[in-house]
Every structure is written in C-alpha cells, then in structure tokens.
Amino acid sequence: MVKRKNSKESIKGLGVKYGTTLRRRYTNIYRILKSKRICPKCGSLRFKRAVIGIWKCHKCNYTIAGGAYDIISKHT
Ligand SMILES: [Zn+2]
C-alpha cells in the first residue's frame, strides 16, 4: 500500500505540484476566500467575491469593494 502524503490541511486542486510551501500558502488563502460571510445588508450567507476586489451578495445584489482574497485587504 502506498501512503498518501497529503495532509489534512491540503486542498484538492493542486495535487503534488508546486511544492509544499506554495501549496500551504494557497490553502490558507483559499480557506479565507471560501469562508462563509454574512451580507452586511440582508444578513444572508451568500455574500461572496464576484471578481478580484469586488464582493457581492447573491441574494440582494449588494456590492462593495474589498480586498482580493478577503473582504478587508491585509496589505493596506
Ligand atoms: Zn445581501
């Protein structure tokens, strides 16, 4: 039997490519990006990033500008 090297922290999609460090960083950013958010207007959980920097609620179409991977940019 071959043991899988994938730890619990890794996310499907990258496989064995790009090296451990980059996969770990990708996983952290991906988690932040896909985490559930509450719409400030209607309280729905369908508040997601539409494109880079634009966050949109899919229920009430409330749109605001934000960070690329999180609603609050950490590089400001
Ligand atoms: Zn909303």
Render pLDDT for 17-63 as a digit per residue (tens, 0 to 9): 889 899 999 999 999 999 999 999 999 999 999 999 999 999 999 99
Q: Which of 3-12, 18-27, 40-49, 64-73 has the lowest mean pLDDT?
A: 3-12
CA 22 – ligand 1 centroid, Å: 34
Q: With 90 as the cut, is the pLDDT of residue 13 above it?
A: no
| Residue 40 · residue 62 · CB < 8 Å | yes
Residue with structure tokens 């896909």? 34
CB-count burial class (<10 Å; 0-12, 13-18, 19+) for 8: exposed
* CA neighbor of 70 nearest in space, from 15, 32, 13: 32
CA 38 – ligand 1 centroid, Å: 8
Calpha distance 44→30 (Å, rounded): 21
15 or 39, higher pLDDT: 39
CA 65 – ligand 1 centroid, Å: 14
Calpha distance 25→48 (Å, rounded): 21
Q: With 90 as the cut, is the pLDDT of residue 3 above it?
A: no
